[in-house]
């Protein structure tokens, strides 16, 4: 019987292919369509044709027997019902898969530009149509009824898939996510949606196929109503389970945007995601901050406030009131650079248009919200529009900020920007400089140049031999924002550059050293290998997190005066997948493993429990 | 004719709200020839389809004795279901491949002078019936189920059909269960008569016993009501009564002329009696 079935299916497939191959030829030959290649006309016809073909393959499962009045004969054959339907489905499924692969092959070989439907959408629609039409094939003798009902079922299926997605979005609090199904049909679908839609679709389609196989075991010559009743008896509970399962899966796996966690000075956790907004967790409760953010990046803390940046606004979050206020918003079409600097009660940052033109230094008084803007135009900034602020100070009552251009690792000028708008060039550096204890550290070849402000300008004090080319004072990690309190040490890393990486500025850090800021001696650190993050928790306390990929472990050290003290080892970590992350701040350490967050308070690393996190 | 071949237990089938077969318990023996009669819609064809696995019971079981595989059950339905767009040869090839028939016996096909490349839908009713029978015969069936087709074919083919069935019974000890309305030509075939009514068997007798148990009385006047009468026809001048179950005690007590009747009339009496029952109910 299988042989007969295969022959029938192949015959039908041949006629189908004949039509889809002939139609473009007719359109071109009769000049109904002009100025397009055969493939450009053929491929969209082929895609749409395949969708209808998938539908046809399913609903025609018993059309031969019904049309030839052979159903009774078929059922009287010495086969079980499941065997019968298996022999029917197998050749159809094989042809469906084969044609699908042909379509995908053509898609990647140039069909993408000619395609009527995007490949992902096509895949979902194609297999959904096949499964739906198969499942309904025994429900009626009327081909037209099956056809129409299948199309309605497809619409219902799509509504359910998007409905599950929408429900999961709501349940997970993605209140700022703009749910739009149009890209599913017209555009590339984001990977997270692909990873989500396929299992959800399966969760909704599989009940149909399961119900078909369960109900068909008792299929016979009685009116379709009897079979349909039995089908729904199985379908309803299996479908409910499938739907709940799909929702739970979606709820479990849906992760849109990037969720950042930030530990406050008073051991609360701030969670920020551009689609869920900002939430604050204390040990017992979760608080939603009534504010939409495009992006949340904490700048610094001054308990109970956290100053943050979100791309075009600077604001302040209160961990006491659980509210947020915006202190400054950039003019329309302009962005605020996140590399800010704080000194006294002034936050300084660069603001510019998206094309990096029209740059200003903005000085924001964080108490009064008064703003002063200094335009950065003219010669020094003509070639270096993408600058960062790396230091600030006051000399004879006048404030200045230090600015260095971003970009390739090559010698670039350092600028001193005064509050009155005057710009001085104060040297150059091959790497990002830093400003510590009123001393400017800049870099030449194998040399660290120390400069200090004297009589209105920076003067070189001395240079230190930096044979191993260590880079000290990575500003994000090492500098406090609101004051330049004296520190006696700073840590740095040795940058290894390959010939490929030289131009991109990327580096792979493997060795670390300490620079004593009293005697300016460089001392290499032993015992730290592999990829490392160094954190400056406070003005004089440093922590190092060493990642050992081979052992899947992370070791947390306290670093003080060149010595390492192992505080804790975290096992079963995987930093390559992005599912594990660590962050050390003033108050403690925040560890993210998959969806689980754990907080350890410094200095004793006692775990802090959060009920709602 | 000694071993049980089919055992039906508590068989029930419903179609929608209507119970078509109602808790049937019955057994059939190897080599037995059985005819099932009854009113239209009584469940005869449904019962046969259950035996053929075309309809699956809602409750109950149909047990075939050990050694009876599904491919040893042949079924000819009143719809003469086959793949009509296939040719005769294609039909033979398909059937042979399914039932593992190595050499098909073309005797009947040749007798009917069927062209092998002729489509099955082009065959006449009688040709289709005999063609289907030839397919079933090639399976060497141990059970043959025939549903209400004899009366639809011409007398010659009908005789051909019956001869073949009788040969089969004689040579292979095949159990034959037929659903039929008329018995004039098959009177000699069935050993057992079943009458079905509202999904249950109301009569299950061996043919030779039936002729002793059913008698007819013709009278000008009504007969006493305590004579068990399953059916009567009463007109002004003529009255006919069918007595069941008849025994010699009734003859002694009520000295009427009790006539033997043929199988056809026996079935008519049973079926007619059910109609009367329904009318009076």
Q: Where is the domain boundary, B205, B232, B248? A: B205
| Residues A176-198, mean pLDDT to the nearest whole number | 75
Contact of A331 with A379, CB cutoff 8 Å: no
Buried b (16+ CB within 10 A) or exposed e, B70-104: ebbbbbbbebbbbbbebbbebbbbbbbebbebeeb
Cis peptide before A379 (omega within 30 of 0): no
Instruction: Give the pLDDT score at A376.
Output: 78
Among A297, A281, A278, CA closest to A175: A278
pLDDT tens string A297-329: 888 788 788 888 888 888 898 988 888 889 999
The answer on pLDDT for B227 being more than 90 is no
What is the domain count for chain B? 2
Contact of A600 with A607, CB cutoff 8 Å: yes
Chain B residue with Cα closest to A229: B16
Out of A222-226, A498-502, B201-205, least confident range: A498-502
Q: How confident is the model at residue A510 (pLDDT cuts 50, 70, 90)?
A: low
- Angstrom distance (rounded) from CA A176 to CA A154: 29
Q: Which of B45, B46, B53 to mutate to test the interface with A (most CBs of A within 10 A)?
A: B53
Contact: A69, B99; criterion CB under 8 Å: no
Q: Are residues B92 and B133 in the same domain?
A: yes
Which of A138-142, A179-183, A440-444 has maximum average pLDDT?
A440-444
Contact: A78, B56; criterion CB under 8 Å: no
The answer on pLDDT for A452 being more than 60 is yes
| Residues B89-108, mean pLDDT to the nearest whole number | 89
Contact: B81, A69; criterion CB under 8 Å: yes
Chain B residue with Cα closest to A218: B56
**Nearest CA to CA, how far is B51 from chain A (Å)?**
10
The answer on pLDDT for B185 being more than 50 is yes
Q: Where is the domain boundary, B155, B171, B205? A: B205
Instruction: Give the pLDDT score at A33.
Output: 78
Instruction: Give the pLDDT score at A173.
Output: 84
Contact: B15, A70; criterion CB under 8 Å: no
Which of A493-497, B7-11, B40-44 has maximum average pLDDT?
B7-11
Q: How confident is the model at residue B47 (pLDDT cuts 50, 70, 90)?
A: very high
- Angstrom distance (rounded) from CA A439 to CA A347: 21
Q: Are residues B173 and B212 in the same domain?
A: no
- Angstrom distance (rounded) from CA A44 to CA A518: 73
- Angstrom distance (rounded) from CA B130 to CA B149: 11
Contact: B53, A76; criterion CB under 8 Å: yes
| Residues A367-380, mean pLDDT to the nearest whole number | 80
Q: Are residues B33 and B119 in the same domain?
A: yes
Q: Are residues B55 and B128 in the same domain?
A: yes
Contact of A57 with B35, CB cutoff 8 Å: no
Segment 481-500 of chain A within 8 Å of chain B by CB? none
CB pairs under 8 A between A and B: 66
Tokens, residue A301: 């803390």
How are the residues of chain B apportioned to helix, strand and coil, as percentages rounded to the nearest 5? 35, 30, 35
**Nearest CA to CA, how far is B121 from chain A (Å)?**
8
Chain A residue with Cα closest to B85: A68
pLDDT tens string A410-423: 788 898 888 888 88
Q: Are residues B75 and B140 in the same domain?
A: yes
Q: What mean pLDDT is reported for chain A?
A: 83
Tokens, residue A146: 């099956």
The answer on pLDDT for B137 being more than 50 is yes
The answer on pLDDT for B127 being more than 50 is yes
> E strands within chain B?
4-15, 18-29, 33-38, 59-64, 73-76, 143-147, 175-179, 192-197, 200-206, 215-219, 229-234, 239-243, 258-259
The answer on pLDDT for A477 being more than 50 is no
- Angstrom distance (rounded) from CA A601 to CA A609: 10
Q: Measured on CA atoms in the order A122, A126, A127, A129, is the torsion positive or negative?
A: positive
Q: What are phi and psi of A464, to 5 degrees?
A: -110, 135
Among A544, A539, A528, CA closest to A582: A544
- Angstrom distance (rounded) from CA A446 to CA A323: 49
Q: What are the Cα distances from residue A97, in Å, to A94, A605, B128? A: 5, 56, 39
The share of chain A scoring above pLDDT 90, in percent, equals 21
Chain A residue with Cα closest to B99: A78
Look-up of token digits 């650079």: A337
Instruction: Give the pLDDT score at A304.
Output: 87
Burial of B225 (0-12, 13-18, 19+ CB in 10 A): exposed
Q: Are residues B20 and B146 in the same domain?
A: yes
Tokens, residue A84: 């019968």
Q: Are residues B132 and B64 in the same domain?
A: yes
Contact: B16, A218; criterion CB under 8 Å: no
A218 touches chain B (CB under 8 A): yes
Contact: A225, B16; criterion CB under 8 Å: yes
Look-up of token digits 């039995």: A230
Q: Where is the domain boundary, B174, B205, B236? A: B205
Instruction: Give the pLDDT score at B26.
Output: 94
pLDDT tens string A28-56: 888 887 788 888 888 989 999 999 999 99
Instruction: Give the pLDDT score at B24.
Output: 94
The answer on pLDDT for A508 being more than 60 is no
Q: What are phi and psi of A119, to 5 degrees?
A: -60, -40
- Which residues, in sequence order, are CB contacts of A611 under 8 Å at separation 6+? A283, A284, A285
The CATH number of the domain where B80 resides is what? 3.40.50.300
Q: What are the Cα distances from residue A572, in Å, to A533, A582, A589, A601? A: 18, 13, 17, 21
Find the distance separating the first CA and the last CA of chain A, reported in whole Å. 60
**Nearest CA to CA, how far is A226 from chain B (Å)?**
7
Contact: B81, A67; criterion CB under 8 Å: no
By three-state DSSP, how is residue A228 classified? helix
Instruction: Give the pLDDT score at A341.
Output: 73
Buried b (16+ CB within 10 A) or exposed e, A491-509: bbbbbeeeeeeeeeeebeb
- Which residues, in sequence order, are CB contacts of A182 under 8 Å at separation 6+? none
Tokens, residue A311: 């791309």
Q: In Å, how far from its chain's centre is CA A11?
A: 48
Contact: A78, B98; criterion CB under 8 Å: yes
Q: Measured on CA atoms in the order A107, A108, A111, A117, is the torsion positive or negative?
A: positive
Out of A157-166, A237-246, A361-370, B233-242, least confident range: B233-242
Q: How confident is the model at residue A538 (pLDDT cuts 50, 70, 90)?
A: low
The answer on pLDDT for B21 being more than 90 is yes
The answer on pLDDT for A175 being more than 90 is no
Look-up of token digits 């608080």: A287
Q: Which of A70, A74, A138, A216 to mutate to test the interface with B (most CBs of B within 10 A)?
A: A70
Q: What mean pLDDT is reported for chain B?
A: 86
Q: Are residues B174 and B61 in the same domain?
A: yes
Q: What are phi and psi of B217, to 5 degrees?
A: -125, 130
The answer on pLDDT for A208 being more than 60 is yes
Tokens, residue A87: 């022999």
Tokens, residue A571: 């096992």
**Nearest CA to CA, how far is A73 from chain B (Å)?**
5
Contact of A279 with A292, CB cutoff 8 Å: no
Chain A residue with Cα closest to B58: A218
The answer on pLDDT for B253 being more than 70 is yes
| Residues A472-500, mean pLDDT to the nearest whole number | 60
Q: What is the pTM of this model?
A: 0.75
The answer on pLDDT for A90 being more than 90 is yes
pLDDT tens string B202-222: 889 888 888 888 888 888 888
Cα atoms found within 13 Å of the Cα of residue B16, Cβ hemisphere only:
4
- Angstrom distance (rounded) from CA A443 to CA A441: 7
Indicate if ipTM > 0.95.
no
Which residues in chain A touch residue B81, judged by CB atoms under 8 angstroms apart? 69-73, 76
The answer on pLDDT for A453 being more than 80 is yes
Q: Are residues B197 and B232 in the same domain?
A: no
Q: What is the dihedral of CA A422, A426, A431, A437, to 10 degrees?
A: -90
Q: Are residues B53 and B154 in the same domain?
A: yes
Q: Are residues B184 and B238 in the same domain?
A: no
Range of the structural domain that residue B221 is part of: 207-279
> E strands within B125-249?
143-147, 175-179, 192-197, 200-206, 215-219, 229-234, 239-243
The answer on pLDDT for A475 being more than 50 is no
Q: Are residues B106 and B170 in the same domain?
A: yes
Calculate helix-pair angle for A119-136, A191-216, nearest 10 degrees: 10
- Angstrom distance (rounded) from CA B4 to CA B24: 17
């Amino acid at each position: 019987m299988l042989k007969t079935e295969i022959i029938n299916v192949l015959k039908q497939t041949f006629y189908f292919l004949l039509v889809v191959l002939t139609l473009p030829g007719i359109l071109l030959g009769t000049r109904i369509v002009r100025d397009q290649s055969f493939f450009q006309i053929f491929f969209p016809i082929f895609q749409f044709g395949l969708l209808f073909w998938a539908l046809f393959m399913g609903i025609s499962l018993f059309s031969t027997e019904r049309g030839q009045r052979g159903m009774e004969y078929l059922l009287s054959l010495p086969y079980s019902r499941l065997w019968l339907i298996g022999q029917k489905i197998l050749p159809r499924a094989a042809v469906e898969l084969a044609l699908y692969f042909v379509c995908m092959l053509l898609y990647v070989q140039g069909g993408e530009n000619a395609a009527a439907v995007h490949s992902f959408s096509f895949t979902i629609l194609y297999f959904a149509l096949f499964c739906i039409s198969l499942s309904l094939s025994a429900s009626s003798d009327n081909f037209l009824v099956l056809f129409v009902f299948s199309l309605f079922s497809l619409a219902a299926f799509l509504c359910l898939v998007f409905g599950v997605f929408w429900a999961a979005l709501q349940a997970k609090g993605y209140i700022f996510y703009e749910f739009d199904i149009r890209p599913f049909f017209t555009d590339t679908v984001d990977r997270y949606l692909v990873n989500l839609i396929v299992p959800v679709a399966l969760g909704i389609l599989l009940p149909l196929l399961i119900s078909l196989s369960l109900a068909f075991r008792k299929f016979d010559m009685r009116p379709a109503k009897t079979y349909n009743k039995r089908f729904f008896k199985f379908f309803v509970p299996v479908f409910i389970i499938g739907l709940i399962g799909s929702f739970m899966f979606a709820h479990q796996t849906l992760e849109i945007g990037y969720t950042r966690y930030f530990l406050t000075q008073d051991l609360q956790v701030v969670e920020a995601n551009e689609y869920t907004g900002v939430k604050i967790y204390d040990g017992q409760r979760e608080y939603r901050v009534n504010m939409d953010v495009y992006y949340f990046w904490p700048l610094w803390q001054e308990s109970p406030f956290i100053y943050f940046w979100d791309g075009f606004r600077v604001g302040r979050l209160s961990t006491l009131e659980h509210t947020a206020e915006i202190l400054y918003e950039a003019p329309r079409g302009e962005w605020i650079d996140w590399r800010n600097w704080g000194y006294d009660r002034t936050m300084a940052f660069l603001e510019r248009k998206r094309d990096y033109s029209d740059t200003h230094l903005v000085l924001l008084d964080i108490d009064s919200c008064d703003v002063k803007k200094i335009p950065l135009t003219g010669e020094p900034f003509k070639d270096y529009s993408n600058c960062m602020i790396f230091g600030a100070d006051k000399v004879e009552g006048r404030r200045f900020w230090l600015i260095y251009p971003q970009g390739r690792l090559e010698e670039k000028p350092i600028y001193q920007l005064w509050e009155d708008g005057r710009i001085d060039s104060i040297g150059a550096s091959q790497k990002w400089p830093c400003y510590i204890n009123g001393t400017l550290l800049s870099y030449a070849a194998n040399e660290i140049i120390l400069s200090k402000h004297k009589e209105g300008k920076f003067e070189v004090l001395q240079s230190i031999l930096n044979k191993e080319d260590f880079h000290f004072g990575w500003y994000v990690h090492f500098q406090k924002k609101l004051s330049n309190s004296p520190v006696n040490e700073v840590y740095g890393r040795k940058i290894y550059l390959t010939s490929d990486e030289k131009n991109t500025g990327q580096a792979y850090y493997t060795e670390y050293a300490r620079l004593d800021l009293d005697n300016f001696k460089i001392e290499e650190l032993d015992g730290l290998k592999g990829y490392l993050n160094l954190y400056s928790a406070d003005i004089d306390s440093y922590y190092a997190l060493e990642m050992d990929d081979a052992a899947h472990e992370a070791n947390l050290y306290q670093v003080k005066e060149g010595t390492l003290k192992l505080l804790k080892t975290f096992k079963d970590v995987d930093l390559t997948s992005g599912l594990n992350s660590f962050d050390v701040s003033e108050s403690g350490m925040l560890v993210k493993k998959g969806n689980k967050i754990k907080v350890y308070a410094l200095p004793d690393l006692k775990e802090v429990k959060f009920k709602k996190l | 004719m000694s071993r049980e071949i089919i055992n039906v237990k508590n068989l029930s089938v419903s179609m929608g709200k209507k119970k078509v077969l109602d808790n049937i318990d019955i057994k059939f023996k190897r080599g037995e020839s059985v005819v099932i009669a009854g009113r239209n819609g009584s469940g005869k064809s449904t019962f046969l389809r259950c035996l053929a696995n075309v309809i699956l019971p809602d409750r109950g079981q149909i047990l075939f004795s050990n050694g009876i595989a599904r491919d040893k059950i042949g079924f000819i339905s009143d719809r003469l279901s086959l793949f009509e767009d296939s040719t005769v040869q294609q039909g033979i090839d398909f059937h042979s491949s399914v039932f593992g028939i190595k050499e098909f016996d073309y005797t009947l096909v040749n007798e009917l002078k069927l062209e092998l490349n002729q489509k099955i839908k082009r065959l006449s009713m009688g040709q289709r019936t005999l063609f289907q029978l030839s397919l079933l015969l090639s399976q060497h069936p141990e059970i043959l189920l025939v549903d209400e087709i004899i009366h639809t074919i011409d007398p010659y083919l009908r005789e051909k059909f019956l001869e073949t069935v009788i040969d089969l019974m004689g040579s292979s000890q095949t159990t034959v269960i037929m659903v039929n309305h008329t018995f004039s030509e098959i009177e000699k075939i069935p050993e057992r008569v079943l009458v079905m009514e509202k999904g249950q068997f109301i009569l299950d007798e061996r043919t030779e016993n039936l002729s002793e148990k059913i008698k007819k009385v013709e009278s000008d006047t009504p007969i006493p009501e305590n004579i068990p009468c399953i059916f009567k026809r009463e007109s002004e001048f003529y009255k006919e009564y069918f007595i069941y179950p008849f025994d010699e005690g009734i003859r002694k007590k009520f000295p009427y002329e009790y006539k033997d009747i043929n199988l056809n009339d026996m079935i008519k009496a049973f079926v007619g009696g059910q109609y009367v029952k329904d009318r009076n109910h």
